[in-house]
Amino acid sequence: MMNLTILILTYNSDIALEKCISSIDQKIPIIVIENSARKDFKDNIEKKYENLKCILNMKNLGFGSAMNIGLKQITTKYVLTLNPDTVLKKDTISNLLLAAQKLRDFCLLAPSVSNNSIPNYGFLSPSKIEKKTNDNIFEVDYINGFAMFFNLKKFNDNDFFDENFFLYLEEIDLCKRMRDKDERIFVIKNSIIDHAGGKSANTEFRREMEYARNWHWMWSQVYFNKKHFNLLKAIKVTIIKFCLSFIKSILYLLIFNFNKSKIHWLRFNGLLNAYIGKKAFYRSKLDYE
């Protein structure tokens, strides 16, 4: 028995999700959290996959809140959370489980990305280097949220995602809180995963999703730095983006590039609202349909 559940968060992600599920061993229980009220989606996918349960949130709750709903329901020892735009290799899960048995004392593991030009991990201090336990496993400060292997005995409900984030940096925040408690996080090199990146949503929804991503990426940077450091640090690391976003929104408007003007205005607006302590309120038009 694997003692593992797969948890996948979706939001109008039907096409990507099919590829993701097809790469998972059908003996492993899967929970899909859909951030919408699409009952037809739930009915169809549960009918197609016997090992799958779909939970409808009825509206878009964002990443952290939705993931927490799923995480609090899981009773297995381990859970692998995935974005729908990921595809597992044949031995992705088996190599994660082998590493879990070998390490024992860990809170999170992550597979390696097949295209590792952009690593899915990092260090909170620039002076840190990879502490390799062997050729295959090394310790990091954080892992990215598209594939996270949880050792649930290390977590209680309050350790999961901070629901003040709507999108972006929730996983970095979670990792930092766990590292502050001296818990350990590792990347497993021989556990490989494909990640398309930014392609979870169906094609027709991508422009609205791009608007939401730009607003929340900026808001989350400020909130993260305010939470773990202070407002001055948050302003220091974002003030250039704040100024440039405002300038670019005007310049693109003058040359009638309304799409790019809106993107940069949303970036500026996300930062402004985070500076003054407003919640992550921005929602795409899709959330009201």
CATH of residue 122: 3.90.550.60
The answer to whether residue 30 scores a pLDDT higher than 80 is: yes
Instruction: Give residue-wise pLDDT tens across range 73-108.
Output: 999 999 999 999 999 999 999 999 999 999 989 999
Q: Of the candidates 168, 195, 222, which is a domain's last residue?
A: 195
When pLDDT is cut at 50, 70 and 90, the band that residue 130 belongs to is low
- 114-129 pLDDT, tens digit per residue, is 876 577 888 887 665 5
**Digit-coded pLDDT (tens) for 42-82:** 999 999 999 999 999 989 999 999 999 999 999 999 999 99
Which of 163, 195, 227 represents a domain boundary (last residue)?
Answer: 195
Same domain, 180 and 251: no
Question: Could you tell me if 127 and 269 lie in one domain?
Answer: no
Burial class (CB in 10 A: 0-12, 13-18, 19+), 117: exposed
pLDDT band at 35 (very low <50, low <70, confident <90, very high): very high
Residue 175 pLDDT greater than 70, yes or no: yes
Could you list the residue range(s) of the whole structural domain that residue 209 is in? 203-288
Residues 50 and 125 grouped into a single domain: yes
258 near 241, Cβ under 8 Å? no
User: Is the per-residue pLDDT at 41 higher than 90?
Assistant: yes
Number of domains in the chain: 2
- 150 in the same domain as 12: yes
State residue 285's pLDDT score: 67
CA separation for the pair 72, 70 (Å, rounded): 5
Q: How many whole angstroms separate alpha carbon 143 and alpha carbon 123?
A: 9
Band of residue 288 on the pLDDT scale cut at 50, 70, 90:
very low
What pLDDT sits at residue 3?
94
pLDDT at 184: 96
157 or 167: which carries more pLDDT confidence?
167
Strands (E), the chain: 4-10, 30-34, 52-56, 78-82, 86-88, 108-113, 121-122, 131-132, 137-140, 142-143, 147-151, 185-195
Q: Could you tell me if 119 and 44 lie in one domain?
A: yes
pLDDT of residue 207: 86
Q: Which residue has the higher pLDDT, 11 or 206?
A: 11
Q: State whether 147 and 60 are in the same domain.
A: yes
pLDDT of residue 203: 59
213 shares its domain with 186: no
Q: Are residues 38 and 61 in the same domain?
A: yes
Q: What are phi and psi of 125, to 5 degrees?
A: -115, 125
Q: Quick one: 35 and 141 in the same domain?
A: yes
Residue 204, pLDDT above cutoff 60:
no
Residue 7 predicted with pLDDT over 90: yes
Q: What is the pLDDT of residue 123?
A: 86
Is the domain of 181 the same as that of 222? no
- Average pLDDT value for residue range 223-248: 98
Same domain assignment for residues 171 and 207: no
My answer on whether 171 and 212 are in the same domain is no
Among 144, 178, 195, the domain-final residue is 195
Please state, for a pLDDT cut of 90, what percent of the chain lies above it.
80
Is the CA virtual torsion 274, 276, 279, 280 positive or negative?
Answer: negative
